[in-house]
Structure 1
């Protein structure tokens, strides 16, 4: 069962009732290549012990592509998408077999759940995923979630398992998200240059001026620290605290000890489509808006009307994600647009009443409704 109340700092991990743990390929890979049995068993020992105390756990695990390299005779992670997909197809079954055996030794059942970020954007898929995961957790199962790498495209190239983990944490209403990699924490500069660990991030301002690396030292992952920070920030902004640390610190992390970098919550739960808009959406165009519209959108939380738009850039259709910028080019917000880039130019600077009279009632509405808009 989920805990009804939690402390505000990392000690909440001691009693958290539902936790999402993400592990990257670099943490599971051996020096010789492929999945390291020792690394996988060490992680499973920690997670199974916690599961057997009653905590509900979801493991978001990368590693399918890495596991498929050796059986295909590949010496390194392939660059082309088709071979990545082939390696994922071969490796996913091997990865799940190892997890099944390792957790089984502790009397814990596991299941395979393959998702993409896109699956969590579609309302029916979202509901189905929630129902399935919730039922598995109630049955005492540890769901092992991975991207559906065999058919995914964008996710494979940009290491979205970190962000997928944040979305899964949001989906199942987790108490916390733990992101494990081969780096023990976020630092204020290169660790080898004597940088200091950033123990706590209370909000975006704490990361101003911090240089964040993009790749792990093992060379088989794709996200690096940058996607972990993005995922932790995404979770924190939606009311779920997150910890970023090394896989070797998994036991200490779940015990609430002072390891890694803790991202405390700085927002409340919001619809998953707004999380997607803020962090994952592929932006199709830009609307430059005047000062009045900036104030209405940012400060008064109003919809964007055609009268406040001064220019349109890009090619997009109704329902596509676009960004809104002020006259200096600073991004103000993102949203789902109600008109195409073909329709909008003739609407600029005109009131909805005027547009309704001259173009028809279908034009007498917002360009972006406030419910489909996120301020950045």
Structure 2
């Protein structure tokens, strides 16, 4: 691109050196002028590389709804987009994805691809028809290497290497694993396209992420993405029969939302996509729901205003990274319902006691982030001090009764106020 190899403004070496004080101190101690000049040249070259990357990123024509040009993008593609129930893998879709992602890559926009399709592909190739968990896990084991091999071939013409990351909810929940994963992403994003999927071959209900829509939002928070694109079987969101191009919120009620069919072997659908989008918006990440069909599905969504753009609406009470992670790690489809007394107490900055819980939906383990519901609406999220099995034993009970009901009582509350996020209307 013209102009990127020329810096019209003079470089102030003093400013460059001050930007790297440790190196500047080292170089000023040297009497050898050539050594000093070498270090200044090295610093200058790195500065020019950063400027070039910044200019390349700015040159990608993102759609005007983005308040800031994204430097990192997460793209989620579902089974329905990639695998035909009879014909198998749709290689033309992979080629289109690789082409769009390579364009972003050439503009120094970093991309993580969250890809379903392993179970669906394995079911076709391995002729797996059973819906039992062991059969689905076997299908995943067959399909995952085939899927990655196909991605590798799709990106090969663009000179881009892909990398595989398989996750369970335990990897996101565990503090040490979380930061190890974060560091792995940081390293891979320098030269590779990470392709992420749930580790279906070992997942079971208690450690399952639920669906890759939720996983995409978790990954977006982890890597600090500024855009999240959901590729699906619809051009966007339809409400009351009308296609919606831009929303400043994510619908809580699905009564007026048009539902499109999900893949027979997929876990998602519009309901779960909207849940994931709602979470992303609360984290301050804009999201786009768009069609996977067409020769440039990702580029059309990011540049040409295709699909529905969801404007981010970050929660005002997400103070500190701890509460951000609570929201990002919420276990899908796991929640507890509370009564009016508990609802009022929570809004007065109290912890959630067993006596105020009326119903539990799981499964979830102690330490999982779960939703709190009141009158059919999610009012908050928090880390549970008990598993779903134990909550079912103590719901509606007084704190003094807990030792009689459980062998182990780790806490007098179900969710402590320090591990709680309340959603404000």
Shared fold (TM-score greater than 0.5)? yes
C-alpha deviation, 1:83, in angstroms = 1.2
Q: Structure 1 residues 363 and 273 mapped into 2: Cα distance closer, same or farther (>3 Å)?
A: closer
Query: Aligned equivalents of 2:98 and 2:312: distance in 1?
Result: 28
1:121-140 superposed matches below 5 A: 121-138=173-190, 140=191
Residue 95 of structure 1 aligns to a residue whose secondary structure is helix
Whether 1:230 and 2:230 are equivalent positions in the alignment is no
- What CA distance in whole angstroms lies between the structure 2 residues aligned with 1:180 and 1:115? 20
Contact 1:287–1:322 (CA under 8 A) maintained in structure 2:
no
**Aligned residues of 1:147 and 1:155 also touching (Cα < 8 A):** no
**What is the TM-score when the length of structure 1 is the normalising length?**
0.78
Q: Which whole-Å CA distance do the structure 2 matches of 1:143 and 1:329 have between them? A: 37
Please give the secondary structure, in 1, of the residue aligned with 2:108: coil
Q: Per the alignment, do residues 200 and 22 of structure 1 end up closer, same or farther by CA in structure 2, a change over 3 Å counting?
A: same
For 2:101 and 2:410, how far apart are their aligned partners in 1?
A: 55
Cα offset for 1:371? 2.2
CA contact 1:289–1:311 (8 Å) conserved in 2 = no
Spell out the pairing of 1:290-309 with structure 2 (5 A cutoff). Answer: 290=341, 293-298=342-347, 300=348, 302-304=349-351, 309=355
Structure 2 partner of 1:359:
none
For the residues of structure 1 that align with 2:69 and 2:179, how far apart are their CA atoms? 27
TM-aligned CA distance change 1:130 to 1:202, over 3 Å: same
Question: How many residues in Structure 1 have an aligned counterpart in Structure 2?
Answer: 346
The offset of 1:369, in angstroms, is 1.9
**Equivalences for 1:1-376 in 2 at 5 Å?**
11-12=65-66, 15-30=69-84, 32-74=86-128, 78-138=130-190, 140-154=191-205, 160-189=211-240, 195-204=241-250, 209-213=255-259, 215-216=261-262, 219-247=264-292, 248=294, 249-255=297-303, 257-268=304-315, 270-277=323-330, 280=332, 282-283=334-335, 286-290=337-341, 293-298=342-347, 300=348, 302-304=349-351, 309=355, 319=367, 332-338=379-385, 345-347=397-399, 368-376=415-423
Output the CA distance in 2 between the equivalents of 1:329 and 1:25.
30
**CA, structure 1 residues 134+212, in 2 after alignment: closer, same or farther (shift >3 Å)?**
farther
Superposition deviation, residue 8 in structure 1: 11
Confirm or deny: 8 A CA contact 2:73 2:109 kept in the other structure: yes
Are residues 370 and 134 of structure 1, via their aligned partners in 2, closer, same or farther at CA, if it must alter by over 3 Å?
same
Q: Secondary structure at the match of 1:89?
A: helix
Normalised TM-score (structure 2) = 0.70
> What secondary structure sits across from 1:197 in the alignment?
strand
Where does structure 2 lack aligned partners over 5 or more consecutive residues?
Answer: 1-52, 403-408
Alignment RMSD (CA, Å)? 3.7
Q: Conserved in 2, the CA contact under 8 Å of 1:236 and 1:265?
A: yes
- On the 8 A contact 2:85/2:120 being kept in 1, the answer is no
The 2-side partners of 1:132 and 1:63 are apart by 23
Moved more, 268-277 or 49-58: 268-277
Q: 1:10 to 1:187 in 2, by over 3 A?
A: farther
Larger Rg: 2
Residues 63, 320 of structure 1: CA spacing in aligned structure 2 closer, same or farther, 3 A cutoff? closer
Q: CA deviation at 1:16?
A: 1.6
1:372–1:289 Cα change, 3 Å: farther
Is the 2:72–2:109 contact (alpha carbons within 8 Å) kept by the matching residues of 1? yes
Output the CA distance in 1 between the equivalents of 2:298 and 2:62. 20
Q: What is the DSSP-based 3-state SS (H/G/I as helix, E as strand, rest coil) of the residue aligned with 2:96?
A: helix
Following superposition, the deviation at residue 346 of structure 1 comes to: 3.5
* Conserved? CA contact 2:169–2:209, under 8 Å: no
Instruction: Name stretches of at least 5 consecutive residues in structure 1 with no aligned partner.
Output: 190-194, 356-361
Secondary structure at the residue paired with 2:239? Answer: coil
- Conservation of the 8 A alpha-carbon contact between 2:169 and 2:208: no
Displacement, 1:264?
0.9
For the residue of structure 1 that corresponds to 2:89, the secondary structure is coil
Q: C-alpha displacement at 1:286, in angstroms?
A: 4.5
The question of whether the paired residues in 2 share the 8 Å contact of 1:185 and 1:260 is answered with yes
Partner residue of 2:46? none
Q: Which moved further from structure 2: 196-205 or 362-371?
A: 362-371
Question: Once the two structures are superposed, what CA deviation does each residue of 1:66-92 show, in whole Å capped at 9, x if it has no partner?
Answer: 221333134xx6411111111110111
